[in-house]
Structure 1
């Protein structure tokens, strides 16, 4: 198990399914704690024999058997206090010839802490969730003994319901849409617009300490024919605003329920945040002025900040470069500049090395200042880029099903980590991809099979739109709440209308704020994915 998978386990995201009544511990299990194997007969294999413990390897001598040297398992493990987010444990002390140095407390098989006393409080837990606990004594020689029999404890509380009017959002990408012959009118003809509550226009640029238009020609100047225009009327040479912004204004006239957010940053374009965050107030003021430019005043209802990894430095790094509190500093400044009611959202990546943008950012501190977080709950595994993996893996898994090369990258782990941090689930909007990720040279169809690199894609290696992959490599099978298909030696992972339906049901079950499609260009002409999202959340 890798460090990241162990992190997922340690957060209580990968749990065994045994249930206990809320706040009541179950009877001690006859099995050892998860992750501590049992011997064929008799007591469980000591932690020191199962694998070298963090406290150092066993140093048993030939003159005495290992069992004689090992500290006994702590007795009487019980939960003495349980809340929605904490569990306090107590146990009887162990004895050893050399004395007991400390105890290791395990939750769901992963060490949560070391204490010299016989009590421990586990924090940042999710409500109404079962956890397995056991304790291991470590003597003064650094030798770990037997794990105590595991107990199951369930935190109290209930998961809150989904909001009455959940977010149904889609992302329209400025870059490359004309090359794909995809226009804002397609949102009308496909029926997508009718199912949206919000539309995110991506991406503006963060540069020189502020916000700027990325492609002024596409956004402001390109003339549309009557055939491609949302209104059915051609642009004229003398109208003050053309391009995508004029088409967005026409879309709002036809579908006034849609709130439009302008997103800044995005994948590969987050480096400008570092310079901008040297003066958060000036940064926020620049963006507010741009959204309210007189040429398109009233078009954008709010802003989305797509700083992919807020704790990491990309360029010109210094001792004051971004860190865990950077996200909070940014959204505080934006809330001041935008006022108490204008929507401010944050798009957060879950890609690849989850530790980069998730585990070291304080989302809970930032949450009071944002309306919600768009979570990129996809691209956990890709065949290309910095975090590429050689194993054909479900890139948008909903839940955990172990495969080769798996480090626990899935939506459930991602979301439950944030709620355990203290982020209310109503502020988490589930991301659903409209693209497939593909691996080449895969000889067997099972997830986790080895590959020889990315499969060929229409627009880039290792990636294909859902609208194309559904016929190019049909016959999807479901796995981990998403889908995959195997054609020849190409292996593709993607979501389908059926898996979108399952993900919206999950969003309801866990009280999330809604869901969004990552790129509306990838959906079919009749909006198969958006239809499933709309029907699941209406």
Structure 2
């Protein structure tokens, strides 16, 4: 059912007087302390290409090799590809129509985009380094796992996805923000397109370039979509996380609704809050000059919630006060669909906002069910948009029940 997989995330580091893609293994300090001096500097090279998968774990049923065959001149200088990179490569061999993208940045690792995009020289340095690592496959040799080396990760990735969260600010407090982010975002993507086309001309392949963007009106206004989209194959609109447990006292509201509900306190308040719907994001991009064929709507495979919620006049907890984020398996305020679907409570489908929600008398969850996803798929098809994507794959229920509905976009 999958046409593309985005592998997330790759990080960017201060290096050689500028900023470059690289792969290291280091626990992320910003995950627990965003004020740490080295926040945003982590990496997981072990998972990426060093971990040896056993036969019963791997896609092709074979264990990752420890070394090259005897007599191979690379022995001692490089090691076979292992880890997730090798599994992705095997997956592509099994399903030849599948393409894999490397996503750079994300919520935690967007620290240096605002610096790396400031000058032509810095942009060229960053883009060249990312192509070197993820397209040419020149990954650091790790002697301990005997993995990596020049060219070892070639042919894993078919393109690059830039997930700068966010040009103009609004991401992690440690992120660099430049007054010219709006223009620099366009220039950075143009440089990626230029260098990807250049290496593609050398090896007879066209490499994809995409972005993931914030969907609020403020985020879209911080860039020039009509211009930067010219460099892209498509835009992944992160049309979720509209409301959640960070608004600890509520009111409860939807996190990924298709349309605005006039009864929502956030809509009634006016301002930017009313722009946080899927439809508003899509209309903003279309009005900014983005072709419909370059817009991909994001669907969360998780929910966001609050607890200490008062039932309210309708008894469903919607638009009511709360005391704190709801308990979650991995972190407060968030829960995978596969867990959420079995939680106690009454499930509802909002007729106006087109969002599912669940309330058990004290805990409220907003999420996408198969029914609301089907509504979004129909919406995408009605506007001839590019398609849909989900974040993230392992949040789905048994037998890929949500992904099955998402796949209807191609029917």
Alignment TM-score > 0.5, same fold: yes
Corresponding position of 2:369: 496
Corresponding position of 1:247: 87
Cα deviation for residue 473 of structure 1 reads 3.5
1:447 and 2:318 are equivalent in the alignment? yes
Cα deviation for residue 500 of structure 1 reads 1.0
1:391 and 2:251 are equivalent in the alignment? yes
Structure 2 counterparts to residues 58-457 of structure 1, below 5 A:
195-208=1-14, 209-213=19-23, 214-238=43-67, 240-278=80-118, 279-291=122-134, 292-293=136-137, 294-312=151-169, 321-339=179-197, 341-350=206-215, 354-384=216-246, 390-402=250-262, 403-406=264-267, 407-408=273-274, 409-444=276-311, 445-457=316-328
1:476 and 2:347 are equivalent in the alignment? yes
Name the CA distance, whole Å, in 2 between partners of 1:413 and 1:356: 12
Name the CA distance, whole Å, in 1 between partners of 2:13 and 2:112: 5
Shift >4 Å, 4+ stretches: 313-318
Larger Rg, first or second structure (1 or 2): 1
CA pair 405-349 structure 1, distance change in 2 beyond 3 A: same
Q: Point out where structure 1 has 5 or more consecutive residues left out of the alignment.
A: 1-194
Cα deviation for residue 281 of structure 1 reads 1.3
Cα deviation for residue 477 of structure 1 reads 1.2
Higher mean Cα deviation, 505-514 or 266-275? 266-275
1:536 and 2:409 are equivalent in the alignment? yes
Name the CA distance, whole Å, in 2 between partners of 1:512 and 1:251: 27
Name the CA distance, whole Å, in 2 between partners of 1:356 and 1:268: 20
Name the CA distance, whole Å, in 2 between partners of 1:253 and 1:323: 39
**SS at structure 2 position matched to 1:205:** strand
CA pair 519-488 structure 1, distance change in 2 beyond 3 A: same
Over aligned residue pairs, what C-alpha RMSD do you find?
Answer: 1.8
**SS at structure 2 position matched to 1:472:** coil
Contact map agreement 2:380 2:386 (CA 8 A) in 1: yes
Name the CA distance, whole Å, in 2 between partners of 1:475 and 1:450: 18
Could you report, residue by residue, the CA deviation over 1:134-163 in whole angstroms, capped at 9, with x for unpaired residues?
xxxxxxxxxxxxxxxxxxxxxxxxxxxxxx
**SS at structure 2 position matched to 1:457:** coil
**SS at structure 2 position matched to 1:247:** helix
Name the CA distance, whole Å, in 2 between partners of 1:519 and 1:451: 27
Higher mean Cα deviation, 320-329 or 520-529? 320-329
Contact map agreement 1:207 1:276 (CA 8 A) in 2: no
Structure-2-length-normalised TM-score: 0.79
CA pair 529-389 structure 1, distance change in 2 beyond 3 A: farther
CA pair 230-491 structure 1, distance change in 2 beyond 3 A: same
**SS at structure 2 position matched to 1:471:** coil
Structure showing the higher helix proportion among its residues: 2
Name the CA distance, whole Å, in 2 between partners of 1:389 and 1:494: 19
**SS at structure 1 position matched to 2:182:** coil
Cα deviation for residue 321 of structure 1 reads 4.2
Corresponding position of 1:152: none
Identify which of 505, 511, 514 aligns with 2:387: 514
